[in-house]
Amino acid sequence: MKFEGSYVALVTPFARDGSIDEPALRRLVRRQLRAGTAGLVPCGSTGEAATLSHDEFRRVVTLVLEESRGLLPVMAGVGTNSTAKAVELAREAESLGADALLVLAPYYNKPTQEGLYRHFRAVAAGTRLPVVVYNIPGRAAVNILPATLLRIARDCPNAAAVKEASGSLDAVSEIVGAAPKGFAVLSGDDSLTLPMLAVGARGVVSVAANLAPRPMAELCAAALAGDFRRARVLHRRLFPLMRALFVETNPIPVKAALDMMGLCAAAPRLPLTPLRREHAACLRGSLAGLGLI
C-alpha cells in the first residue's frame, strides 16, 4: 500500500433522527471514487468517531468498504485512550476488510513518551495491517515527539506512516530526514500540505477533500512530481476554503459546507453544534470561489 497523495478524512453523515445517513455516505464515497482521491479514511476526527457507537463504527467501515469496491484503499480510524481497546478495534477493522489503520494518540490520559511508544507498539503487534500513527496534540493533549515516532517506525515493521498534525515543519523535517525507508509523512493540516510536501512529506489526510477532492489530489500530484509552480497555484485557490473549514471545531464547518452543496445534512452530533450563522457567509464565499456552489 502506497501512502501518498490526497486521502479524504470522510465525514459521517447523520439523518434527521440522528442515525447514520447510509445513502448519503455511499454518495460521498462514490464522489471520491470519481475525483482522483488516493484513499478513504472513515471514523477519524472528521468522521466524529468519538460519538459513534461500536456498532456504528462497524457499519461505517463496512459501508465505505462496500461502496469503494476495492477501487480505493480504506484506512479505518482507531481512536481510543485504552491500549487494549485500541488493539481490539484494530483487529475488528482488519476482520471487516480495512486496508490500513489510522491510530490516534491516546487522549485525556496524557501518557509519557514511553507510554506512547508502548501503546503504538502494542497496536502494531496486534494487527497485520499497516499502521498510520496519528499525531494531533490539539485534540489528544500529548505530542508524539519525533524521537518517539522514529522509534516506533524502526521497531514496528508495519508502522507505515504518520499523519502529522502538530503544526511543526521542524518535526516533519526531522522525521523525513531520519525515518526508515518507505515510512511516509502525511499532512494532518490542509493549509500546511504544500509546505510539508516541500520538505519531504508524501501527501495529506484532508478535510477539504470532502468538498474539493480533485484539486486536493492535483495539488499533491503536482508537488510530488516537482511541479511546485502548479502546486502553489492550487494551494492559493484552496487556501480560503482551508481556512474557512476551521472557523469552528472540525467537522462543524465541513458538514455545513456539504449541506450547502446538497450532499448531506449539516448537523453534527452533540457535544458539537451546528455552524453559527456569523460564519456561514465566509464558508459560502469560499465554496463559491471554487465553483462548488
Active site residues: 134, 163
Under 8 Å between Cβ of 203 and 219: no
* Element of type H or E holding 32: helix 22-33
Residue pair 13/20 in contact (Cβ under 8 Å)? The answer is yes
Instruction: Determine contact, residues 93/74, Cβ cutoff 8 Å.
Output: no
Instruction: Name the 3-class secondary structure at 35.
Output: coil
DSSP string, 148-197: HHHHHHHH-TTEEEEEE-S--HHHHHHHHHHSPTT-EEEESSGGGHHHHH
Alpha carbon distance 239, 235 (integer Å): 6
| 54 CB-contact burial (10 Å; exposed 0-12 / middle 13-18 / buried 19+) | exposed
Q: How far are the Cα atoms of 213, 242, 243 from residue 191, in angstroms, in the given order?
A: 15, 6, 7
